[in-house]
C-alpha cells in the first residue's frame, strides 16, 4: 500500500509567516515530476505543531487538490493530546487522503499501554489507513516492538514509520507484525539498509530536495539492483547527515530555498533559520549530491 520513496514535505511560509500555497503547489508538482511515491503533508517536518487546526486542515485539502490524484497524499495527524489527534483524523476523513501518519505523543512520555490506547482511539475514528510513527529522539518516548505488534492487529493500522535508526528492529517488527504490515524508515542515513533488511520504503527529509535520486534509488532497490542503489545512496550520504546539522526542518528549508523550490526558508518560532556558519556545510553537501 505504501512503499518506495515518500517525502516528509516541508510547509512553506511567506514573508508574513502565512502558509505559502503557491510554493506548496510548486512543491507538489516537483514531486509528481520527480517520481516520488507519496507525500506526507503536515507531519513533524511540516512544522505541524505550529499550525492551527484550521491551517492544518486547509493545507491537507490544498495538497490533495494540487496532487489531483497523481500522487498519494498522507496527512500528519499527530498530537500529544489524544483528543486532538482524534479530531485531526476525523476532520480529514473526507479529504481524499490515502492515509494518516500519527507520531507518538511528545513530552507526555506515556506508558506502552498509553500508546496502545492512543492509537486505538485514532484507528476507531479514521476511515483511512493509519501509519504509526516512532521517533524517540524527538518525542522522549519509544514505542516498543511488542506494542507495535499489538497495534498491528487492529484492522486499519497498516504501517510503521520507524525513525529510531535501529536496524535490528526491522526483522523483529517483521516477525511480530507479519509480512503484510508495512515498514517504513524515518531515518535517511539508514533508509536503504532498512529496505535491504526487509523494509518497504522510507518517509524522507532528503527527498524534499533530492527527489529524483531518492525515487530512483528505492526503485533500484525494489528491483534488486543493490550496487546501483548503494552508489546513489553514497552520493547522498553527506546530505542525509547534514540536513540534520540543526533541528529539522531548518536545514532542508534552507536547501529548498537555495534550489528555488520555495520563495524563502522561513520557519515559525521557536524554529529559526539556518545559521550562517552551517550554510556552507549544507551547500557543500548539496553540491556533492549534484543539486547545485
DSSP assignment, residue 105? P
Position 28 pLDDT exceeds 90? yes
CA distance linking residue 199 with residue 195, whole number of Å? 4
Position 270 pLDDT exceeds 90? yes
Q: Is 116 tagged catalytic?
A: no
- Please give the pLDDT value at position 23: 98
250 pLDDT tier (thresholds 50, 70, 90)? very high
Q: Is 45 flagged in the annotation as binding?
A: yes
Write a three-state SS string for 225-280. CHHHHHHHHHHHHHHHHHCCCCCCCHHHHHHHHHCCCCCCCCCCCCCCCCCCCCHH
98 pLDDT tier (thresholds 50, 70, 90)? very high
- Residue 211 has which C-alpha cell? 527527489
CB atoms within 10 A of CB 244: 18
Over residues 185-216, the pLDDT tens digits come to 999 999 999 999 999 999 999 999 999 999 99
Domain ranges of the chain: 4-225
Mean pLDDT score across all residues of the chain: 97
> Taking residues 111-139, what's their average pLDDT?
97
* Number of alpha helices (DSSP H) and beta strands (DSSP E) in the chain: 12, 8
CATH of 4-225 given 3.30.470.20, 3.30.310.50, 3.20.20.70, 3.40.50.10150:
3.20.20.70
CA distance linking residue 60 with residue 48, whole number of Å? 11
Q: Is 139 flagged in the annotation as binding?
A: no
219 pLDDT tier (thresholds 50, 70, 90)? very high
| Strand segments (E) across the chain | 4-8, 38-41, 73-76, 99-103, 130-134, 157-162, 182-185, 201-204
Percent of the chain with pLDDT over 70: 100
Q: Is 120 tagged catalytic?
A: no
- Please give the pLDDT value at position 255: 98
> Taking residues 153-159, what's their average pLDDT?
97
Percent of the chain with pLDDT over 90: 100
Position 173 pLDDT exceeds 90? yes
Whether 12 and 24 have beta carbons less than 8 Å apart is answered as yes
φ and ψ at residue 258, rounded to 5 degrees: -60, -30
Over residues 34-73, the pLDDT tens digits come to 999 999 999 999 999 999 999 999 999 999 999 999 999 9
122 pLDDT tier (thresholds 50, 70, 90)? very high
Position 1 pLDDT exceeds 80? no
The most distant pair of C-alpha atoms in the chain lies apart, rounded to whole Å, by 49
The active-site residue out of 116, 133, 179, 241 is 133
Position 16 pLDDT exceeds 80? yes
- Please give the pLDDT value at position 241: 98
The active-site residue out of 106, 119, 161, 253 is 161
Single out the residue of 220, 214, 181 nearest to residue 200, CA to CA: 181
Amino acid at each position: 500500500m505504501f512503499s518506495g520513496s515518500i517525502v516528509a514535505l516541508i510547509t512553506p511560509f511567506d514573508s508574513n509567516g502565512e502558509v505559502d500555497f503557491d510554493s506548496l503547489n510548486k512543491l507538489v508538482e516537483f514531486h509528481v515530476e520527480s517520481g516520488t511515491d507519496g507525500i506526507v503533508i503536515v507531519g513533524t517536518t511540516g512544522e505541524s505543531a505550529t499550525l492551527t487546526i484550521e491551517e492544518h486542515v486547509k493545507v491537507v485539502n490544498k495538497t490533495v487538490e494540487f496532487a489531483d490524484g497523481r500522487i498519494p497524499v498522507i496527512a500528519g495527524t499527530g498530537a500529544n493530546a489524544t483528543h486532538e489527534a482524534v479530531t485531526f483524523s476525523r476532520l480529514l476523513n473526507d479529504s481524499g487522503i490515502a492515509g494518516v501518519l500519527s507520531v507518538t505523543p511528545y513530552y507526555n512520555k506515556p506508558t506502552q499501554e498509553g500508546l496502545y490506547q492512543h492509537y486505538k482511539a485514532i484507528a476507531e475514528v479514521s476511515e483511512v489507513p493509519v501509519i504509526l510513527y516512532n521517533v524517540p529522539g524527538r518525542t522522549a518516548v519509544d514505542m516498543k516492538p511488542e506494542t507495535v505488534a499489538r497495534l498491528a492487529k487492529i484492522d486499519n493500522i497498516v504501517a510503521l514509520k520507524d525513525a529510531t535508526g535501529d536496524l535490528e528492529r526491522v526483522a523483529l517488527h517483521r516477525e511480530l507484525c507479519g509480512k503484510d504490515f508495512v515498514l517504513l524508515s524515518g531515518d535517511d542515513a539508514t533508509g536503504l539498509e532498512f529496505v535491504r533488511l526487509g523494509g518497504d520504503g522510507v518517509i524522507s527529509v532528503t527527498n524534499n530536495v533530492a527527489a529524483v535520486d531518492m525515487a530512483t534509488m528505492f526503485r533500484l532497490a525494489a528491483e534488486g539492483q543493490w550496487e546501483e542503489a548503494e552508489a546513489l545512496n553514497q552520493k547522498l550520504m553527506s546530505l542525509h547527515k547534514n540536513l540534520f546539522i540543526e533541528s529539522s526542518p531548518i536545514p532542508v528549508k534552507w536547501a529548498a530555498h537555495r534550489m528555488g523550490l520555495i520563495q524563502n526558508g522561513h520557519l515559525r518560532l521557536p524554529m529559526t533559520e539556518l545559521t550562517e556558519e552551517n550554510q556552507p556545510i549544507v551547500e557543500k553537501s548539496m553540491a556533492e549530491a549534484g543539486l547545485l
